[in-house]
Amino acid sequence: MNDHFGENVRFLLWSRGIKHATWSRQVAEWAGCDLARAEELLQGESPSAAELERLARVLEVPDEELRLGRLFDSARVDVLEKNIEHLLGALAHGEQKQLAAALNVTETTVSRWKNGVQQPPTATRELLCRYFGKPAGTDLTTEPLFLDPTPHSEQGMRDRLENYIRQMSVRTLRELYPALERLLNKP
């Protein structure tokens, strides 16, 4: 039987309306762990017995169901609608205009997609995936990207990296600084 722990925790966070950007902090609080460990749990790392017990209690789901069930399967969710809402909702001010230009559609069309009034055609969905850096073959109608703990927007990625750097110990920062500077320094 497959372990769906990470996806189940993400689904329960999402279904409770907890903002994506706060998932790690919320899981850390519930599981009694640090942020780095919470991110590992969200990615699907196996929880310790204590972490599983705490999360199952808080989330009001039996331990075994939290680990081995697939809670998302029993939900009636329009995956395409939620994916579009999530991806477009992550865009910073001005990025919606850039997206519209990149897809050769109007900003009004993008707004209609974002608000669930209209769905993008299949060919445009593939372009959307490419725009957001998703692998070729990603199916927005079946793959719940809105449950993915990885940021999809440019600003989200920048924020995530900035948070990682801010959370590093001084020792780790000193060790990694030369490599980070070479990696991030523009030639």
Residue that is last in its domain, among 50, 74, 98: 74
For residues 61 and 76, is the Cβ–Cβ distance under 8 A? Answer: no
Domain of residue 99, CATH code = 1.10.260
List the one residue out of 154, 157, 158, 132 whose CA is nearest residue 145.
132
Centre a 10 Å sphere on the Cβ of residue 120 and count the other Cβ atoms it contains.
20
Q: Which amino acid is at 10?
A: R
Q: Model's pTM, two decimal places?
A: 0.75
Sequence-separated contacts (24+) of 121-127 with Cβ below 8 Å: 125/80, 127/102, 127/103
Same domain as 102, residue 138: yes
Q: How many CB atoms lie under 10 A from the CB of residue 78?
A: 12
**Of 142, 125, 8, residue with least CA distance to 63:** 8
Domain boundary among 18, 47, 74: 74
Alpha carbon distance 122, 87 (integer Å)? 16
Query: Which residues span the domain enclosing 21?
Result: 5-74
Say how far apart CA 182 and CA 166 lie, in whole Å. 18
Written as six digits, the tokens of 146 are 């809105």
Asked if residue 161 and residue 136 are part of one domain, the reply reads no
Domains in the chain, number: 3
In tens digits, the chain (187 residues) has pLDDT values of 458 899 999 999 999 999 888 898 899 999 999 888 998 999 989 999 999 999 999 999 999 999 988 888 888 889 999 999 989 988 877 888 999 999 999 999 999 999 889 999 998 999 999 998 888 899 999 999 999 877 766 777 777 778 778 877 888 888 888 888 888 886 5
**Integer angstrom CA distances of residue 184 from 80, 138, 180:** 35, 29, 6
Residues 69 and 113 in one domain: no
Residues 37 and 69 in one domain: yes
The CATH number that applies at residue 30 is: 1.10.260.40
